[in-house]
Structure 1
Amino acid sequence: MNLSLETPALLFSATSLILLAYTNRFLTIAQIVRGLKKNYDDHKNKSILLEIKNLNLRITLIRYMQLFGVLSLFLSVFAMLLLYLNKSSFGIYTFGASLLSLLLSLGISFWEVSISVTALRIHLKDLEESTNL
């Protein structure tokens, strides 16, 4: 199997956009956590504590999403270097590891989104019951 130098470069734009989306998610959740912490300090409500715990898990998952996304980009660049140095078999395996890392990042992203959806459904359950939505 032969891999051209340009093939790993195809991941650059996709990975960069994914990392930007992950960073935006992180910043949004961090802002929500700060607001909830202030609210908890004022009211000591247990449900707020549970929301913060859920958001903390999501922040941890986003950190791993970012880690594997950056690792994917790093391995793509390293694969390009190996291909440039005519180490094609190592370059192919490194590019495969890059794809695997990107796949892990996307899988964790799906997990984080599913947690978010579940949390929103729980949050809106009271509204549904009181308004018969």
Structure 2
Amino acid sequence: MTLSLETPALLFSATSLILLAYTNRFLTIATIIRGLKTSYDQGEKSYILDQIKNLNLRLTLIRYMQLFGVLSLFLSVFAMLLLFLEHQLTSIYLFGLSLLSLLISLGISFWEISISVKALRLHLKDLIEKK
């Protein structure tokens, strides 16, 4: 089995876009948490604290999504370096680890999206029940 230099390079654009999306999610959730913290400080409401706990979990998941996404990109670049240095077998294994890291990142992303959807459904539950 051989691996060409172009194959790991294919992950660059996809991984970069994924990391950008993860960063946007992080910034959005951070803004929401800051607003909820202000609301909580002004008047203690237990549901706000529950929302902040949920968002904190999502921030943790996004951190791991970013970690595995960056690891995927790093391993892909390292595999390209080894291909350039003509270490074919090691580069194949590193590229495989890069793909595995990307899969883990996407899996965690799916988990975070699931939590987000459940939270939104709970938030809209009273509106749906009024119909």
Alignment TM-score, normalising by the size of structure 2: 0.99
The count of corresponding residues between Structure 1 and Structure 2 is: 131
Structure 2: tracts of 5 or more residues without a match? none
Report the equivalent of 1:49: 49
| 2:81 is the counterpart of 1:81 | yes
Percentage of pairs with the same residue: 77
Pairs within 5 Å for 1:87-126 = 87-126=87-126
Indicate the residue corresponding to 1:68 in structure 2.
68
Cα deviation for residue 86 of structure 1 reads 0.6
Distance in 2 between residues matched to 1:24 and 1:63, nearest whole Å: 12
- 2:39 maps to 39
Inter-partner Cα distance in structure 1 for 2:128 and 2:91:
54
In structure 2, what is the equivalent of residue 21 of structure 1? 21
Structure 1 residue 43, shift from structure 2 partner = 1.2
Task: Give the TM-score, by structure 1 length.
Answer: 0.98
Q: Does 1:129 align with 2:114?
A: no
Deviation at 1:15, TM superposition (A): 0.2
Give unpaired runs (5+ residues) of structure 1: none
| 4+ runs deviating over 4 angstroms | none
